Amino acid sequence: MIKKILIANRGEIACRVIRTARKLGYRTVAVFSEADAQAPHVSLADEAVCIGAAPAAESYLKVEALLDACRKTGANAIHPGYGFLSENAGFAQACADAGVIFIGPSPEAIRVMGDKAGAKKEMIKAGVPTAPGYLGADQNDETLIAEGKRLGFPLLVKAVSGGGGRGMRLVHQADELQQAITSARREAQSAFGDGTLMLERLVLDGRHIEIQVFADSHGNAVYIGERDCTAQRRRQKVIEESPSPVVSPAMREAMGRDAVLAAKAINYCGAGTIEYIVDQELNYYFLEMNTRLQVEHPVTEMISGLDLVEWQLRVAAGQPLPLKQDQITLSGHAIEARLYTEDPYAGFAPQTGLINWWRPALALFDGVRIDDGIVEGGTVTPHYDPMVAKLIVHGRDRDDAIRRLIATLDDAPLLGLKHNARFLRDLVDHERFRAGTMTTTLIDQWLIDNESILQRPVAPDEAWLVAAAVFAARQQSLDAGIAAPALRADSVTGFDVPLQCDATKRTLRVQGHRQGRFDVSPSTKAAPHAMRLISHGADQLGDATRGGVLRYELDAVQRRVIAVWCGEELHLVQDAAVFVFSEVSAWPDAGNAVDPSRALAPVAGTVAQVLVKAGDVVTEGQPLLSIEAMKMEMWLSAQAPGVIKAVYAQTGEQVQAKTLLIDIELTATKES
């Protein structure tokens, strides 16, 4: 009998599990690393135990620390969430050996399906369709290269362990294969402790569709519809929806039947997901089984009305499934968007830093759900996944859901560091998404082709006008000795407001009047617009000293926007894009000049590889070292030819953004 549940995870999934456990009357225990001491899941649980330092290998991946936390608190069950140890058969076995209930499948089921090559062999025996590939034990590079050439291109090099896109490389032609094998093996070894690889022929222009399955210890198994996870970047899911826009009732039944067959073939028990790749003719092929709860499980919950975590707890307690297959009904359409702290307009580079504003309650309406694991004032670190929240909506149909998701992205901004909210908004409104013709590689192709959807949004004229008025109101309040930014300007003297947003600088002309009224010109010579600031942060979720929801009137039309002061910068949100305005200094700033003689860390992270040493001659564009942060590997290259003077970083070292890593003595160029 489950008495108390320890959640061996962090972030939004830990919060999610705690809420359902509390609903069912279970007491909960949170675990946290030193970096997560102030994280929301810590205070949400009844008890909490620090299990180690910030790196996951020293905390969330330490089996003995987790079991020790169970002993300290009296927890007799562990929910692993997803990621970390959730698909680690050794962890599930350690729980069993310690007399702790593992809320998930058996160690043997995890072991069978955790080996992608072994899982594929099991599915072939069970009669589940699979894609062509190489599953052999011979892991020599020569063998893998020969087998890859036999299969043909494009193909995937995949780690047989783990998931989440780690240890996976897409290969388009033969001369890319060696590097892909080396890179995938290194990443897999680092992430999962197993560098074994398999090869799989890539289904061109495919769709990624998965089936939610559930089985109990009484021999019952069901499927709960499908999820379409085709919108991906580098094999990482971005948008998930249910039902799929391309799956017919007959196809759903066939995929579901095979998914249940797959689960029963390995005596599965608990929540699981059978993932398929679907080709242009709607033929489906088994990819892998995730032996855990999926990140995207909320879309299934939204269309079924079921709580899948509740089902997990009931099955783990030995109860039969709450429903039979013919009792499961699905209604409407649900879409989930993953909010990542990464910059889509800079190659999706991961971002870290302080969360200055996060108030999702502003966006919560009927049919809207936001699962998050962050809090205003907290910090996003480089140690964990860049996904910080999930925005899930439900509508009567797909158009309803898309419209609601766009509104939710607009109304729930994250301020303080760059993220992908505007990209998500543009993605679900893109003609390819609306038409249901996305493929698993389309976003990556957009990045290669430099498509407009991946061009950084430019602040519209209205944003500049609003920013100038808010800066003017703040300055006049300060001039008048008012501590908090007020919305009543007493000056009638016109003045210039020089502002900068990204690399763009503009000087706007402002004429102040009483009661928050201004005449604002987009330039010193342009005709003015009538602007009135009505209220700023006046509602219960706002803060008069920082701003919040700004209500204004421009040319006789009243609107609202979120505008928040972060120090001396004004963060203004429009259509899910965050535009950061600052006043242009009268002094020149040379701090942003690129110095090719100094190689700086582009982000905070861990040094994965160092390819040069002091004395090496390098050419422009030559790779120097790579940094791994938030499941992404980034390369730092020489910006000019020269000789390496000094290398200050070593493999495995944690570095902060802008840290000096390499000094280069530039090669002098001869004057012509």
Which pLDDT band, with edges at 50, 70 and 90, does 541 fall under?
Answer: very low
pLDDT of residue 587: 60
pLDDT above 50 for 300: yes
Picking from 386, 423, 424, 444, the residue whose alpha carbon sits closest to that of residue 631 is 386
Question: Measured between alpha carbons, how far is 18 from 4 in angstroms, rounded to an integer?
Answer: 11
Average pLDDT over residues 197-218: 94
CB distance 342 to 420 below 8 Å: yes
pLDDT above 90 for 643: yes
| DSSP run (H or E) holding 265 | helix 249-265
pLDDT of residue 161: 84
pLDDT of residue 586: 62
In a 3-state reduction of DSSP, which class is residue 213?
strand
pLDDT of residue 164: 67
Which residues lie across from 581 on neighbouring strands?
501, 570
pLDDT of residue 671: 44
Average pLDDT over residues 158-164: 81
Each residue's pLDDT tens digit, 67-94:
999 999 999 999 999 999 999 999 999 9
Lowest mean pLDDT among 45-49, 356-360, 428-432, 585-589: 585-589
Q: Report the largest interatomic distance among the alpha carbons of the chain, rounded to a whole angstrom.
A: 84
pTM: 0.86
Each residue's pLDDT tens digit, 314-341:
999 999 999 999 999 999 999 999 999 9
Which pLDDT band, with edges at 50, 70 and 90, does 182 fall under?
Answer: very high
pLDDT of residue 375: 95
Q: How far is CA 291 from the centre of its chain?
A: 20
Active-site annotation holds for 292: yes
pLDDT above 80 for 475: no
pLDDT of residue 64: 98
Question: Measured between alpha carbons, how far is 353 from 379 in angstroms, rounded to an integer?
Answer: 5
**CB within 8 Å of 482: residues ≥ 6 apart:** none
pLDDT of residue 488: 38
Question: Measured between alpha carbons, how far is 310 from 184 in angstroms, rounded to an integer?
Answer: 36
pLDDT of residue 545: 60
pLDDT above 80 for 482: no
7: tokens are 């959640």
pLDDT of residue 243: 98
Q: How far is CA 331 from the centre of its chain?
A: 27
Which residues lie across from 577 on neighbouring strands?
574
CA distances from 243 to 226, 264, 336, 566 (A): 6, 24, 12, 41
pLDDT of residue 603: 80
Which pLDDT band, with edges at 50, 70 and 90, does 479 fall under?
Answer: low
| DSSP run (H or E) holding 232 | strand 221-233
Each residue's pLDDT tens digit, 396-414:
999 999 999 999 999 999 9
pLDDT of residue 490: 46
pLDDT of residue 633: 76
Question: Measured between alpha carbons, how far is 41 from 378 in angstroms, rounded to an integer?
Answer: 12
User: What is the average pLDDT value for the chain, to the nearest integer?
Assistant: 91
pLDDT above 70 for 381: yes
pLDDT of residue 635: 86
Average pLDDT over residues 130-137: 91
Higher pLDDT pick, 589 / 520: 520
Q: Tell me the three-class secondary structure of 382-420, residue by residue.
A: CCCCCEEEEEEEEECCHHHHHHHHHHHHHHCCEECCCCC
pLDDT of residue 656: 82
Q: What percent of the chain lies above the pLDDT cut of 70?
A: 93
CB distance 427 to 409 below 8 Å: no
Which pLDDT band, with edges at 50, 70 and 90, does 257 fall under?
Answer: very high
- Set 292, 359, 369, 425: catalytic member: 292
pLDDT above 80 for 54: yes
Which pLDDT band, with edges at 50, 70 and 90, does 670 fall under?
Answer: very low
pLDDT above 80 for 127: yes
Question: Measured between alpha carbons, how far is 508 from 510 in angstroms, rounded to an integer?
Answer: 6
pLDDT above 60 for 672: no
pLDDT of residue 538: 52
Q: Is 361 left (phi over 0), alpha (psi -120 to 50) or beta?
A: alpha
pLDDT of residue 235: 85
Lowest mean pLDDT among 39-53, 310-324, 635-649: 635-649
